[in-house]
Amino acid sequence: MREKIKMKDILSWSGSKLVSGDGGSYIHNISTDSRTLKKGDFFVPLTGENYKGHDFIEMALERKAGGFVFESEYARNLELWRKKIKDNNLSEIAILESGDNLNFLKKIAYNYIRKFKPFVMGITGSVGKTTTRNFLVSIFSRGSKVEFTPKNYNTEIGVSKSILEIKRDTEFFVAELGMRGKGQIKILADMCNLNLGAITAVGQSHTIFFKDLSEIALTKAEMAGILFKNKGVLFLNNDDRYTGLIEKKVNCRVMKFGKDGDIPFNFIEKEIDNMGRFKFDLFKDKKKVTTIKLNVPGYHNIYNACCAAAMALNLDVSAKTVKSGIEEAVIEKSRMDIIEKKDKIILDDCYNANPVSVKKAIDTLVLISEKRGMRSVAVLGDMLELGENSPALHEEIGRYLSRKGVGVLIAVGSFAKNIYHGYRSADNFNKNKSYYFSDKNELNKKISGLLEAGDLVLVKGSRAGKMEDIINLL
């Protein structure tokens, strides 16, 4: 946390109760992780899928936490915790009681950001969120004070913690907004007090939680409510099939970006280098604004850059700043990283995977392999949270690989077996090499013998599969 908060504000914002400590004190920093907590931090224990934060209150106290908040159901443990701080002055230890600690944290973030009032931009979508965020941060950091959601901090916890990094002089806050179910984008957009929003694309991600893609599209569009309230703008990909549906349903102002067309912000690609990085002309309406050379491979990244540029140009950022911001952006690790290793080139796109992002990664693999005359190898893991359609969606990836002429498939994981079957069953399957391994341990024993000098290797899979471990073996 960058700015201290009065305890009376914490109590007022969160509706929590002061059990002990000084109501006139300040909280200088909030921590949700007892392992990284520093002396004087205020500890907010949260509950996750595999842990209960309240189990670590004692550890937080041993590390000299300045206080903590507990949920009412844990009140029976209060005396035990008091004994743990018996050597400290209780008046210096703030102990609060709340009904729910996640709501406690979200309410603090909700009010904290409104206290300092930065201009807020939020990005959601099935693909491209992080790269678009990186482009935006790079653009606005040139001459302005910017804070943003780092790494994969796109959940209610991550966004809340990122908001608490805002300083008094922060001018812009750029938030990546993740979504797994209905209502989450609305919560995040409202918490951030969104001024501009963008949906990069709609695709088959987290489909286990939705009945169809239309429902996914409209759930992403939940940000429109707060945008309407704040007189903001929603940026939509003109070339996405669900943009028309979203545009009909939202009540806020909409602006579109995409490939050459009669839309406010558009591009025409010009050329491509032998690492799959595009140069494109950027237009505002029919007037050319600038020419941009991407430093990250893949045609899909033109859309991400165009989205970021559209949002910046809408705020009257200069063309020069937009150009340098995009061209010099630092892209998050494992998002189409190009790694030249020994006698091979590796495309590290391990961060996550869904059917849309995997197909875009395959397109980039094929593009670069053709440019460089290299054999294309796809090492693909499971795509998760796809529900009952998971087998069919994995099989379709296999068929897509075959249609694109990928030379070698190495599939690893229980779901990925369907990629292998889809690849081999495709009508145009040309007996290219294909291998299946049930897990990484099995693959590790044989992968060195499957690759050749001069291979271009794509490695991709859902986050839980930790496909980056494979890169260390190549």
Provide the pLDDT for residue 86.
66
My answer on whether 138 and 225 are in the same domain is yes
Residue 47 per-residue DSSP state: B
- Residues 339 and 472: beta-carbon distance below 8 Å: no
- Residues 157 and 32: beta-carbon distance below 8 Å: yes
Provide the CATH number for the domain around residue 344: 3.90.190.20
- Residues 451 and 344: beta-carbon distance below 8 Å: yes
Q: For residues 93 and 119, give the distance between their C-alpha atoms in angstroms, rounded to a whole number.
A: 35
Residue 193 per-residue DSSP state: T
Among the residue ranges 47-51, 120-124, 167-171, 185-189, the one predicted with the least confidence is 47-51
My answer on whether 309 and 351 are in the same domain is no
My answer on whether 342 and 383 are in the same domain is yes
Query: Token match 């540029």: residue?
Result: 309
First to last CA, the chain: 41
**pLDDT by residue (tens digit) across 364-418?**
999 999 999 999 999 999 999 898 999 999 999 999 999 999 999 999 999 999 9
Provide the CATH number for the domain around residue 213: 3.40.1190.10
| Interacting residues of 418 by C-beta distance below 8 A, sequence separation 6+ | 390, 391, 392, 394, 395, 398
Phi-psi region of 391 (alpha: psi -120 to 50; beta: other; left: phi over 0): alpha
Mean pLDDT of all residues in 79-90 = 72
Tokens representing 386 are 């796809």
Q: Which domain holds residue 47?
A: 5-100
Comparing CA positions, the residue from 79, 106, 102 lying closest to residue 20 is 79
Residue 472 CB neighbour total at 10 angstroms: 8
Q: For residues 262 and 335, give the distance between their C-alpha atoms in angstroms, rounded to a whole number.
A: 31
Provide the pLDDT for residue 272.
97
Q: For residues 303 and 128, give the distance between their C-alpha atoms in angstroms, rounded to a whole number.
A: 9
Instruction: Report the DSSP beta bridge partners of residue 70.
Output: 97
Number of compact structural domains in the chain: 3
Residue 48, class by beta-carbon neighbours within 10 Å (0-12 exposed, 13-18 middle, 19+ buried)? exposed
Instruction: Report the DSSP beta bridge partners of residue 433.
Output: 408
Higher-confidence position of 217 and 91: 217
Comparing CA positions, the residue from 20, 143, 142, 38 lying closest to residue 93 is 20
- Residues 312 and 321: beta-carbon distance below 8 Å: yes
The pLDDT confidence band at residue 121, using thresholds 50, 70 and 90, is very high
Q: Is pLDDT of 206 > 90?
A: no
Tokens representing 285 are 């309406």
My answer on whether 153 and 34 are in the same domain is no
Tell me, yes or no, whether 322 lies in a domain.
Answer: yes
Last residue within a domain, chosen from 50, 75, 100: 100
Higher-confidence position of 245 and 445: 245
Tell me, yes or no, whether 112 lies in a domain.
Answer: no
- Residues 192 and 175: beta-carbon distance below 8 Å: yes
Last residue within a domain, chosen from 100, 131, 152: 100
The pLDDT confidence band at residue 85, using thresholds 50, 70 and 90, is confident
Tell me, yes or no, whether 107 lies in a domain.
Answer: no
Contacts within 8 Å (CB) and 24+ apart, 55-58: 57/81, 58/84
Q: For residues 407 and 344, give the distance between their C-alpha atoms in angstroms, rounded to a whole number.
A: 15
My answer on whether 304 and 194 are in the same domain is yes
Q: For residues 427 and 353, give the distance between their C-alpha atoms in angstroms, rounded to a whole number.
A: 25
My answer on whether 255 and 191 are in the same domain is yes
Last residue within a domain, chosen from 306, 327, 348: 327
The pLDDT confidence band at residue 93, using thresholds 50, 70 and 90, is confident
Tell me the whole-structure pTM to 2 decimals.
Answer: 0.95
Q: For residues 276 and 111, give the distance between their C-alpha atoms in angstroms, rounded to a whole number.
A: 44
My answer on whether 302 and 421 are in the same domain is no
Tell me, yes or no, whether 108 lies in a domain.
Answer: no
Tell me, yes or no, whether 106 lies in a domain.
Answer: no
Among the residue ranges 13-22, 85-94, 258-267, the one predicted with the least confidence is 85-94
Residues in the chain: 474
Provide the pLDDT for residue 419.
97
Give the Å distances, CA to CA, from 54 to 101, 102, 425, 460.
10, 12, 51, 36
My answer on whether 68 and 162 are in the same domain is no
Provide the pLDDT for residue 342.
84
My answer on whether 322 and 356 are in the same domain is no
| Interacting residues of 402 by C-beta distance below 8 A, sequence separation 6+ | 422, 423, 426, 428, 429, 430, 432
Provide the pLDDT for residue 136.
98
My answer on whether 268 and 215 are in the same domain is yes
- Residues 180 and 218: beta-carbon distance below 8 Å: no
Provide the pLDDT for residue 84.
75
Tell me, yes or no, whether 110 lies in a domain.
Answer: no
Q: For residues 132 and 136, give the distance between their C-alpha atoms in angstroms, rounded to a whole number.
A: 6
- Residues 269 and 302: beta-carbon distance below 8 Å: yes
Provide the CATH number for the domain around residue 36: 3.40.1390.10
Mean pLDDT of all residues in 179-191 = 95
Mean pLDDT of all residues in 322-340 = 95
Calculate the dihedral angle through the C-alpha atoms of 429, 435, 438, 443, rounding to the nearest 10 degrees.
-150
My answer on whether 392 and 437 are in the same domain is yes
My answer on whether 308 and 348 are in the same domain is no
Higher-confidence position of 223 and 90: 223
Tell me, yes or no, whether 13 lies in a domain.
Answer: yes
Tokens representing 71 are 């949920």
Q: Outline where 242-343 has alpha helix (H).
A: 243-249, 300-314, 319-327
Tell me, yes or no, whether 75 lies in a domain.
Answer: yes
